[in-house]
Structure 1
């Protein structure tokens, strides 16, 4: 009788041990299988969408577009100048996002279309005319979607700022009040494209 009880206890301990190991292996596999974010795939998807949009909206420039990937941390190049004719990135640089978009969690941002939120807003923008403001030359932005329809009234503009670095950084860069804000040198590259364009260029901010 005692032998039978001892054998049953051993079977029970072995079963629990095996179940725990099996669950651990499943957990490990689940973590290991977690997909890694690919900015190339996301950009490809956004380009497909913007081509569709431009096909229905001939009043905008269909040769070049700007893309801003908010999933990429601010210390890395995440503002892309894309040549839609040759189908390639021609330049890229750093860009600041709104201080109101910070959540305190690395890599996690929030967005808003509300005035005085100091948040960045997602969506398509038409880059309008330039003016001279607090940061020198800047370009008015017109939100084309529900997520950024208040951009003009919020004074969300595209401008340069001396404290935005030109080269990539191992840490986050400074924030704006909601405007896409870039390095002065990088701004000069886009300035030529915008000023020489007969039609408004589209800027897409996505996450």
Structure 2
């Protein structure tokens, strides 16, 4: 009888403990796992919002809009050129964000509308006229929301930079001082689109 009891103590109880530990580990993994981010769903949502905005603002181009998804890592394509009229993606490319937006945590950015913060600012922008600056031709940006209302005064512009690669990278690309900064070749695509538009094109930066 004692032998049987000892057998149960040294075999069944450890198995029960092991079962509890495995269940505990599974519970922890489930709680800490992050949901997969779908940039396609987020883009659809932003497109719906901008269509509503453009429907009330006829002074802007309602056929095309530019979308910058800052939730996507900088080494991946996150600058989207979208044809609102025919409901299709026309082009996409890399874009750098402000150095001040870095938090030190991979995949997390912060945003600010404050001067000299070197941060990117979220919100809708109207793309204004072009000028020749430090990086060559660039386009002035006018913030249309409270989150980016200081864009013009902060000299936040859409410009190109030779150090921005054209193809996607497995590592982060270089940062700007708050401006959306793109590859020279990709800038050429945007340039044709902007210069041939009779109305100002809207650029949306979201997170």
The two structures share one fold, judged by TM-score above 0.5: yes
1:94 aligns with 2:87: no
CA RMSD of aligned residues (A): 2.1
Map of 1:29 onto structure 2: 30
1:173 aligns with 2:173: yes
**Mapped partners of 1:158, 1:15: distance in 2:** 62
**Mapped partners of 1:25, 1:76: distance in 2:** 32
Map of 2:198 onto structure 1: 198
SS in 2 for 1:28: helix
Deviates more, 1:8-17 or 1:196-205: 8-17
SS in 2 for 1:40: helix
Structure 2: gaps of 5 or more residues: none
Within-5 A mapping of 1:1-207:
16-31=17-32, 34-207=34-207
Deviates more, 1:7-16 or 1:63-72: 7-16
TM-score by length of 1: 0.91
**Mapped partners of 1:15, 1:169: distance in 2:** 48
Q: Report the Cα offset of residue 63 of structure 1.
A: 0.1
**Mapped partners of 2:94, 2:86: distance in 1:** 23
Q: Report the Cα offset of residue 24 of structure 1.
A: 1.9
Q: Report the Cα offset of residue 9 of structure 1.
A: 6.9
Structure 1: gaps of 5 or more residues: none
Q: Report the Cα offset of residue 16 of structure 1.
A: 4.8
SS in 1 for 2:146: coil
SS in 2 for 1:68: strand
**Mapped partners of 2:63, 2:162: distance in 1:** 29
Q: Report the Cα offset of residue 19 of structure 1.
A: 3.4
Deviates more, 1:109-118 or 1:19-28: 19-28
SS in 1 for 2:107: coil
**Mapped partners of 1:15, 1:163: distance in 2:** 59
| Alignment coverage as a number of residue pairs | 206
